Amino acid sequence: MSSIADNLQRIQDRIATACARAGRDPAGLRLVAVSKFHPAESVVEALAAGQMLFGENRVQEAAGKFPPLRAGHPELRLHIIGALQTNKARDAVRIADVIESLDRPKLAAALAEAMQREQRRPGLLVQVNIGQEPQKAGIDPEALDDFIAECREAHGLPIEGLMCIPPAEGDPNPYFAAMAEAAARLRLGVLSMGMSGDFESAIAHGATHVRVGTAIFGAR
């Protein structure tokens, strides 16, 4: 059975190969190790292997897992990548370095209020429902420009980039290409897209962050 350190090395090797194929510098690509539903002991193993950037879906789980680890690892960074309820906005602002799932005006207002109360401003990514799937969260691509303008002008939010999860079936490349075009148009430098099964394609289209869980930590 492979160790978490072995798995991380394999993913980093695949990232380096994908970057070389795309003519990109691997230094411009960040791996978000998605540790949701895995115990703190697994995170400790990843930290020991040099992985410092993690993603969690649930704020409550992340709040119990990560604050105790920061004392010994001040360079640790945490992204909240799952759907975020407005009543969890303050907790998310308190513990996260980046929140990747800003997806509606009500949440934008809640995050702005939470940032004011906590005097803390994590970076924000707007989640885009790039496949326009009714069962998925995210801003409709056609509403993206107006939503980002509202976030900045009405709430002064620190929008750094975009995040997406393409449809599970079919070719993800057109969706990644559309996301890259949107990020370029909006002059946003962060593009979080690509997971265990498709991150090489995402890298080819300019992803700056890829989110990999199962291939690192195993099945949950």
pLDDT at position 198 over 90:
yes
Q: How many domains, the chain?
A: 1
pLDDT at position 30 over 90:
yes
pLDDT at position 142 is 96
Residues 70 and 54: their CA atoms lie apart, in Å, by 12
Confidence of residue 219 (pLDDT cuts 50, 70, 90): confident
* 164 within 8 A of 139, measured Cβ to Cβ: no
pLDDT at position 51 is 97
Range of the domain at 24: 4-217
pLDDT at position 172 over 60:
yes
Confidence of residue 218 (pLDDT cuts 50, 70, 90): confident
pLDDT at position 1 is 53
Residue 112 token pair:
């702005």
- Average the pLDDT over 117-135 and give the result: 96
Residue 134 makes CB contacts below 8 A (sequence gap 6+) with none
Note the pTM of the prediction, 2 decimals: 0.95
Confidence of residue 71 (pLDDT cuts 50, 70, 90): confident
Tens digit of each residue's pLDDT (9 = 90 or more) over 139-166: 999 999 999 999 999 999 999 999 999 9
Tens digit of each residue's pLDDT (9 = 90 or more) over 76-105: 999 999 999 999 999 999 999 999 999 999
CATH number at residue 126: 3.20.20.10
3-state SS, residue 169: coil
pLDDT at position 163 is 98
